Amino acid sequence: MLASLVALLALTLTSAPPAQDPSAPTCRSFNSQVACGYGCKTDSNRARCAKTPQGRCVVVDGQAVCFDPPAYVVKAYGAALPEPECKAIDGVVACGYNCMTQPGRAQCAKSPAGVCRALGGEVRCFDPPAIVFALYGKETPRADCRSNSAELACGYNCLNTPEGVRCNKTPTGVCKATNGRITCFDPPPAALCTWKRALPAPECRNSESGPACGYNCTTAFSKSACASTPSGVCKVFDSEVFCFDPPVEQKADAECLAGLGLAALEEATP
């Protein structure tokens, strides 16, 4: 009798289904709705799942919410990607990084280098574009915000002047204020993928229509214009300044361009 029980127990143990890998995708059904993905969670109304292995789902204030970091952010940080956070207020829940709340509002950045700030009860978040992560990887500088009583701007190399508040989208950009006008210039992604961190700093010139910023700037008859890349040229004809930039995509780093492709793919996904 004992031998039979031992044999039955052994058979039961060997035939038990293997434990499910928590990192593997799965599906959940709730209230006749099915959700599939990673780290699924269920609240009193529905089931939700993350779309990527790096995504996270939590139940906050009775709501199941999920957050997936962009693919180019995952590529930049790899295993060093910090865990996201979630914040809730007045029934509103947001997940991501460096979250900020105001009454009835909650927002989070999509990346650790992003930033959120509040002004006048509104919350605004800024994340560096994909080219910055392609260039700096996990060393991507964290963005900043500047504000006055009426305006809030976030990004890099911010300028807070009587003319207004402006910021660049990349650490290599520049903003210039002259005669009541502000101009901000960021080198195009193809130039950043070509010169990378060796990209020269852009310059700015004053003109009758306000500052002009870029490369190889030229001024004639109170008019200024600049090329968008260091290989661009600017010439004067008939008191006008004309600039031309030769294509640099063929010289750009392929891996850097691939990071931009990940961002374009996510933007095209509904």
Give 178-231 as a DSSP string.
ETTEEEEE---HHHHHHHGGGPPPPEEE--TTS-EEEEEEEEETTEEEEESSTT
Residue 178 structural domain: 128-268
Q: How far apart are alpha carbons 267 and 54 in whole angstroms?
A: 18
Does the residue 258 lie in any domain?
yes
Provide the number of structural domains found in the chain. 1
Render the burial of 188-217: b for 16+ CB within 10 Å, e for the rest: bbbbbbbbeeebeebebbbbeebbbbbbbb
Does the residue 180 lie in any domain?
yes
* pLDDT attached to residue 13: 46
Does the residue 20 lie in any domain?
no
Query: In the predicted model, what is the mean pLDDT of residues 211-236?
Result: 95
Query: In the predicted model, what is the mean pLDDT of residues 256-268?
Result: 82
pLDDT band at residue 5 using 50, 70 and 90 as cut-offs: very low
CB 47 within 8 A of CB 64: yes
Q: How far apart are alpha carbons 104 and 111 in whole angstroms?
A: 23
pTM, to two decimals: 0.85
Query: In the predicted model, what is the mean pLDDT of residues 213-224?
Result: 94
Q: Cα 166 to chain center, whole Å?
A: 18
Query: In the predicted model, what is the mean pLDDT of residues 148-172?
Result: 92
Does the residue 209 lie in any domain?
yes
pLDDT band at residue 226 using 50, 70 and 90 as cut-offs: very high
Q: How far apart are alpha carbons 17 and 136 in whole angstroms?
A: 45
Does the residue 86 lie in any domain?
no
Dihedral sign for Cα atoms in the order 256, 260, 261, 262: positive
pLDDT over 60 (residue 167):
yes
pLDDT band at residue 146 using 50, 70 and 90 as cut-offs: very high
pLDDT over 80 (residue 126):
yes
Does the residue 158 lie in any domain?
yes
Tokens at 169, concatenated: 């989208």
Residues 6+ apart with CB under 8 A from 137: 76, 77
Query: In the predicted model, what is the mean pLDDT of residues 40-69?
Result: 93
CB 52 within 8 A of CB 36: no
Does the residue 142 lie in any domain?
yes
Does the residue 109 lie in any domain?
no
Residue by residue, DSSP assigns 114-147 as -EEEEETTEEEEE---HHHHHHHGGGPPPPEEEE
